Every structure is written in C-alpha cells, then in structure tokens.
Structure 1
Amino acid sequence: MVVLGVDACKKGWVAVELTDGAFAGARFSHGLRTLLDATPQADVVAVDMPLGLVEEGWRQADEKAKAVLGPRRNSVFRVPPRRVWLEADYETAGLRCRELTNTGLSRQTWGLAAKLDEAGECLEGEEDRMFEVHPEVSFWALNGKTPLPHRKTSWAGQMQRRALLRTGGVVLPDDLGEAGQASPDDVLDAAAAAWSAHRIAQGRAIALPDPPQLDHRRRQIAIRY
C-alpha cells in the first residue's frame, strides 16, 4: 500500500511517501501536479491544503480542528467561502469575506490563494485518492489526542514531532535528497500527512466533522486524521 503526504512549502511542495506505513522516499517539486503525476501508484494522497469550500460562513472542519487543538488552535486557518477566492485582489476579497462571514480577511489567509487554487485544480479527476489533512491534527492524534506543548518551528517542537512519527512507524532518515531543501517543519508536516494518508487507505481515518460538510459540487469537506 503506497501513500503520499504533501505539504506546501515556500518554494513549492514537499512530499513524503510511505509503503505499508514505512518511509519509502521524499520528493520536492515546484508544482503539485508534478508530484501527483510522479506517483500514480499512490493509493491515497493527503494534502495539507483546503480541498473544499463552503458557500457562506465558516467551514466546520476548521472549527472542529481548532477545538481539538486547544493551545495550538492558531495553526489552523479559518478558510473563507468559495466566492471570496474568486475575487481578484485582497481588498475586494476582504469585502466579500465580510459580506459572507461578518468577519474580515487576514492577509496571511489571502496568501494561501495561489496554492489553494493549485490544489483545487489538481483535485479534478483525483477525488478518489486525494484528501485534505492538517499535520497539527495528525500530531495531536499521534500524541494520544493531546495538543503538543511546543511550536513546530522550535527545536523542542521538531524533536517531539519526529519522535511521534517514529512511534507511528514513520522513521525519517537524515538525508532526504532534494526534498531536504524544504524547511524541517515542512518535512515533518508532510510526514504527518503521510501518516494520516496511510490511515485513510486502511479505512481507519476519522473525519472532522463527521459527517463531513459538502461543497457546491457535493464533494466532502473534512480534515481527516
């Protein structure tokens, strides 16, 4: 059973591949489609990027994830409705967001636009194997459903996350080849996504929310772990 966990990083996308739950390789690409095309054998591809958008209000997936993460809740962005992302610039998107949610739009959230669009385009034709995950939710699950005490960018946080992956059967080598150009926290996030991908492939994953919301095309909106 081959799965892929993918995380967006500064220069593109980084992926960790597992075979039967064990590390099988890591990849880096400037484009998500390139990663998908390079791994046609992957039964599940779990991506740390919103793959479904609501029409108004906020996604239940993000609210549920925030609720379980407690002190780490800020690692989850509240993803605005679909029509916000159709706007051409931050100012008009902000106005649309306030119209649909009664809340403004942060520049940090708007910064997801390009990667979110890219992931949405890649989802076409890949619905059977492509799922949304959130690494911090995966680490929460690996940690006995307890929020981690340290930020993922801290030394203590990275050591704890690598150790949790190891207990989950995902042992990351020191040399990741080209994928090693990604920042350590992005690699760890991709590995956590891969761990969740393996659970999805096994039919053991849990969805937030359960049952999932549906987007305007009746596709499920959920974060799985």
Structure 2
Amino acid sequence: MEWMDVLGVDACGKQGWVGVALTDGSYAGSLVDRRLGALIERAGDVRVIAVDMPLGLIEKGWRAADLEARALLGARRSSVFLVAPRPAWQETDFAAAGDRCRELTGSGLSRQAWALAPKLLEARECRAVDERIHEVHPELSFQALAGGAPPAYAKKTWRGQNLRRSLLSRAGLVLPDELGEADRVPADDVLDAAAAAWSAHRIALGTAVRVPERPERDAEGRLVEIRY
C-alpha cells in the first residue's frame, strides 16, 4: 500500500500487533496482525516504522534510555519499565532471567517485563533486517503533544483516552470513529499506535527527539535509544 507514508505499531495482547498508518501526518488506515513481520509486509513501502517495544539491548546495567525517559515523564514514569540486559532475554524462564538480570544490574526482573519477552524478541528480529524500524514510547509522544507536561490521566481511563485522542487531533492526527481492522483492538493500544505513528512522522521529517541525547550502542553497534 504505497499511500502509507509512515507506520506506528503497538503490541495488543493475543491479537498480536496494531498499526496506524499516516500520510503527510494524517490518519491513513489501520492494520492488525498476529505477527509483526506480516503487519509490516502488508503496510508496504512505508518510510519509517515506529514500534512501542524495547529494541536495543545492552550487555550490563540498565539502559540510559529508560532511566532518562523515566526522569522526563515524572508522574508517568511508571509507564517505562527498566529493560534487562540482553543476556537475560536469552534465558528460557522467568526465574533464570531474573537471576541473570540481578547478576548484571543488581536488581531482579519484573514479571510484567518478562511477559513481553516473546514480542520483544519478535520485534528485535524484525529490526535486525529492517532499518526503517525505530523504538518509541507513546507516553513521551503524548507528553510532547501536550506541550511538555505528562497527561493528567492514565491511558486506560475514560478521561485519559479522551485527552490522548484530543491531543492527537490537535496535531492533525484525527482518529475516525470507525477504524476498520483496529475496531476490535482495545482503545489504549490504538491510541499508543497512533502516538507511535506521530513519532514516526517526526522521525521521517528529521525533527524527532532522541532519548538519551547521546545514545549507547549495543553489541552490534546499533543505537540504543527511544525516539519521539
């Protein structure tokens, strides 16, 4: 689908992944697929793909990207979980991963973080073969859309979702009442995918912010950063 200029993607539980596509910063459609690679293939020749999932992993310690993102978000800092070093994700169960994380960081691994392991590894596999893919975090995007203050209400609340949809609309990204494929996806996941798409548009324009300003690099020399 050549009309899709950029794509924002969020994980959405058992449904897999939801994508929101933009053309010139405006809503152009939605996609849902169980596999990220399949969703990206269906999107066609987009310029930038922004995924709400940790992509760059370091060998030891906590990622500077997560620590700085938490500092930036203030009241919404809990929306950023600390990403364990790469060796922890190579373990096959939670207990072993927690032990390896503790060995490399001094702290254990949360079950919430470990639950993302399948999708984190899936997204990393896609990025390894596709340079269009960038890591984003929707709460950083929404904070930027709000002028630098974190959203006053959590994303799963009625007021929080209305606020986030309004922020996107003010930026020209108007989500229609009928989304097509994404109609069956939880609203907070759709909003996160839309925020990721907004960040993808900024990446395409060369105006996106890097967190941290001077990123670390992983073992393959890739930047470990969050964009928004």
Answer yes or no: is 1:123 the counterpart of 2:155.
no
Distance apart, 1:178 and its partner CA: 1.9
Please give the alpha-carbon distance, in whole angstroms, between the structure 2 residues aligned to 1:14 and 1:72. 23
Correspondence for 2:204: 201
Percent of paired sites with the same residue: 57
Q: Deviations over 1:130-182 (max 9, x none)?
A: 10000000000000011111000000000000000001110000111121111
- Select which of 45, 67, 70 maps to 1:66: 70
The runs of at least 4 aligned residues of structure 1 exceeding 3 Å deviation read: none
Q: Deviations over 1:105-153 (max 9, x none)?
A: 11111001000010011112212x1100000000000000111110000
TM-score, normalised via structure 2 length? 0.97
- Select which of 133, 141, 145 maps to 2:144: 141
Question: Where does the alignment leave 5 or more consecutive residues of structure 2 unmatched?
Answer: none
Please give the alpha-carbon distance, in whole angstroms, between the structure 2 residues aligned to 1:218 and 1:156. 42
Answer yes or no: is 1:180 the counterpart of 2:210.
no
Correspondence for 1:155: 158
Correspondence for 1:36: 40
Correspondence for 1:13: 17
Correspondence for 2:118: 114
Distance apart, 1:91 and its partner CA: 0.6
Answer yes or no: is 1:95 the counterpart of 2:99.
yes
Distance apart, 1:212 and its partner CA: 1.2
Correspondence for 1:168: 171
SS in structure 2 at match of 1:141: helix
TM-score, normalised via structure 1 length? 0.98
Size of the aligned set, in residue pairs, is 224
Question: Where does the alignment leave 5 or more consecutive residues of structure 1 unmatched?
Answer: none
- Select which of 45, 49, 53 maps to 1:45: 49
Correspondence for 2:79: 75
Please give the alpha-carbon distance, in whole angstroms, between the structure 1 residues aligned to 2:215 and 2:207. 16
Paired letter, 2:110: S
Please give the alpha-carbon distance, in whole angstroms, between the structure 1 residues aligned to 2:223 and 2:147. 26
